[in-house]
Amino acid sequence: MKVLVTDPISDAGLDVIRDAGHEVVTDYESEGSDLLNAVADANALIVRSGTDVTKEVLEAASELVIVGRAGIGVDNIDIDAATDQGVIVANAPEGNVRAAAEHTVAMAFAAARSIPQAHARLKTGEWAKGEYLGTELNGKTLGIVGLGRVGQEVAKKLDSLGMDLVAFDPYISEERAEQIGAELADLETVLGRADVLTIHTPLTPETEDMIGEAELAEMEGGYVVNCARGGIVDEPALAAAVEDGIVAGAALDVFAEEPLSADSPLLDVEDVTVTPHLGASTEAAQENVAVSTAEQVVAAFEGEPVMNALNAPSIDESAFPRVEPYIELAETAGKIAVQLLDSRVESVEISYEGDIAEEDVEIVTASALKGVFQPLEWQVNAVNAPRIAEQRGIGVSETKRRQAEDFQSLVTVTVSDGEEAIGVCGTLFADDDARIVRVDGYRVDAIPGGKMMVTRNTDEPGVIGHIGTVMGKYDVNIAGMFNARETDGGEALTVYNVDQEVPRGAREELESDPRIIETKYISLNG
């Protein structure tokens, strides 16, 4: 597999990829059409903030499996376009958390104690001791906008220094906030109470310019620290607020446009401290994010879960061995069910019974959808299968039941066209031996194989022999047969494993016999 790296990362990450047997190509200069050419045959793309992974780039990369972001922010990656293309997008949120949090704390102290300003004056020979009266953080209130990984780490560090914590984050529970020692409040309340405001949200349409002139006016002499993403704070408004004394000072490591323009109003205000996006710039952080990103690329190549995937199902590493065998089983059940239905799919239900119902099955459900849509779509995988369901207007539901009749675990995929529904149920025997144990309500014990035929016929002597004769006539070898029936003399269903495709002529000849109600040929390999 070819891995294209378009922004510099630590050699430790590149070594992980090479040690796994994959090719690494570094190209730090390409952009525009050169980038489109470079990515055309890449199986993975690793970037930092310097490469814009646009829809055009993704469409040019027909072999792409994963885009890895060596860091946290992914606003330079078109995740929707990646999802449509079935490309995993993963970041490395843990690798630089400590570094970013430590830089935030340093910037808070720098702003509160005017450290850069006093340093600059002393370097020019001025002993300006009497001109700087700092603010102690102990006993003050820290306002946190965004209580994610970095926000929580900053909260822990400054809580231990005696600050009170109040946070705005609509996506975190009060219980979790209490565990951290923070009080949840709305943004207006946080702004009004904060002596120091620190920001830790991604840049989205909702958060762009979230802290503007009106919000800064609520702070009354506080300090603003932003080491998250540029564009969340209105920079001209912040410069004006500090210049006018509304805000006592500010410290920023990130900017709406980087590098920061020489005519930025932030540079004209003495009490604004700026650093050139150094939050993750420690040797340990750079190595951590590179290794984490590389490991996720290798996992994607090997069909294993990508732990920090942003647009694909993920699962805890410790739980994966328990769930892994059901991934292929669910996909197979989905393929069989949709080919048996043989009409427009209106809804899909995936049900879990027994031990499997206790697990995180998001990745299994996505695989079941992949199986359902694979006969209908040219390019589908577990990444874009949920999106395909949404685009096609297909309802998807998931149910769980802790008890499973006769089996330790069961996975059932049911597809419906609004009138007829077909369910295919699978389980695992010893040594993860996959079995289809129910088809359309019939109990069977079928081994799912590459080519299969399912027949429904009256349960009477000679029918199976006739089917075998017709198959032989068309040079189709029967490798296995699994029979089930409703009642003695009623209807029967038989699953045949076959070595060759069953020609349409063979099926038409079979269905011309009044004893044979229906035949369906199923391919699991394409």
- Residue given tokens 């506080």 in the structure block: 222
Contacts of 324 by beta carbon, 8 Å cutoff, 6+ apart: none
Read off the DSSP letter of residue 514. Answer: T
Which member of 98, 103, 229, 438 is catalytic?
A: 229
Reported residue count of the chain is 526
Read off the DSSP letter of residue 10. Answer: -
258 classed as catalytic: yes
Strand 182-184 and strand 141-145: the pairing is: unpaired
Distance, CA of 208 to chain centre: 23
| Measured CA distances, 515 to 101, 341, 477 (Å) | 73, 21, 22
Q: Is 201 helix (H, G, I), strand (E, B) or coil?
A: coil
Q: Could you give the count of Cα atoms lying within 13 Å of 465 in the half-sphere of its Cβ? A: 3
Which member of 277, 435, 438, 507 is catalytic?
A: 277
Q: How far apart are CA 293 and CA 48, in angstroms?
A: 10
Bridge-partner residues for 498, per DSSP?
478
Given a contact cutoff of 8 angstroms between Cβ atoms, the answer to whether 9 and 280 are in contact is no
Q: How far apart are CA 352 and CA 370, in angstroms?
A: 17
Q: How far apart are CA 438 and CA 446, in angstroms?
A: 9
| Measured CA distances, 59 to 90, 140, 297, 438, 517 (Å) | 18, 51, 19, 41, 46
Given a contact cutoff of 8 angstroms between Cβ atoms, the answer to whether 166 and 141 are in contact is yes
Which member of 220, 258, 270, 508 is catalytic?
A: 258
Dihedral sign computed on CA atoms, order 245, 251, 255, 261: positive
Q: How far apart are CA 75 and CA 284, in angstroms?
A: 24
Strands (E) in 315-420, as ranges, are 347-354, 395-401, 409-416
Question: Quick one: which of 326, 315, 383 has its CA closest to 350?
Answer: 326
Strands (E) in 338-477, as ranges, are 347-354, 395-401, 409-416, 421-429, 433-439, 442-446, 451-458
Q: How far apart are CA 275 and CA 292, in angstroms?
A: 26
Given a contact cutoff of 8 angstroms between Cβ atoms, the answer to whether 425 and 334 are in contact is no
229 classed as catalytic: yes
- Residues identified as active-site: 229, 258, 277
